[in-house]
Structure 1
């Protein structure tokens, strides 16, 4: 069967980690203080201070701030201004995800160039010319590396990541979920159609993507090495999809 997200811990090879007890406590406290909204109250500018306004608030009480409350209100509002972080736009989030995916691609392409470099260093004294296939492969990798580098720089500039601390992007999760989606779609098309070429391509692509998680983790400097139990799960999924792919090819060969 095609693997499902429930078959891997926390729904992906590696989630970002459980929220700490302190973070949960702060979240609950903020909801009790300001309601369930994730954004701070709206602001209105008066002559003497910036005050909270909440059109949906059912709280009763005087609207004027007493002199005794003034310092406290100003301190609370000042803290709220400092703490409020505007969520990045969807375009910025997609650009950030693209940036980290390009980094993973660059790491994999660099690994390919390193293989070629070591080969030529070991055979430096050999006058035999390299085959056309080897030269073409190396040239392709060089071209894709330069292309990926250019696209990564463009995505980074659109993401605004330089102006934020850290990133919530988990590269393995992005690749894993897309590979899983491809394999599921391939299975559906295989059932509903006699045209096997598209399903075959999707199965093969999902296998390559899962291998990219295994081969590239930690190499891009942005992710950690895959833990052994997650590696075993990914290999199990790869074998499962390879089984479906081989079955599909046998069915296509029989016509």
Structure 2
């Protein structure tokens, strides 16, 4: 019995003998410039995250919606963000937690414009983009003031994050390593070398949640946008 591959090979041979050529279907070129999108970020624990064990371990998840536009020249404009209602605390300066003697206070969080670019991988059909967060803390979830990075596949005007649509931050462990080393040197002396090991890591990518995105065809100014919410919040206490 002739297998499927053998039959397909025979068909191509016959086409070649007949002077015919066969070209595989061509995927549409990426067309993201000047398009509007509803970006939803779900901040919380994901598989393999390097966030501290006390981070979002109570099952909390922060739902953060925003409307963005991929502009010419590589700018990712943040047009609108869901309202940060209620009280928000200042976050630690590192993803791993507060530095020694770090003080807390209240903040008014914001999400600012970022950049986007097409990568050479997979025939240039992969887009990487980011927005910038001022940093915030609520309950067991915090994000330091960092860029939030995303990566997805583009087919024409279709953008998808795929199965592993994770949001990540890039954490420089230099300051944290110095803080740990100083603290351990004061308390345990030679054991402070553990903190110095962190200095060699420099920067790591840390997953802080997932994301999804939806193309907007209508007016971005009239698109309904819910407030930023933490699962478990009581809306009556926001105001």
Quickly name the TM-score band, shorter chain normalised.
under 0.3
**Is the radius of gyration larger for structure 1 or structure 2?**
1
TM-score, length basis structure 2: 0.25
- Give the number of the structure whose residues are more often helix, by fraction: 1
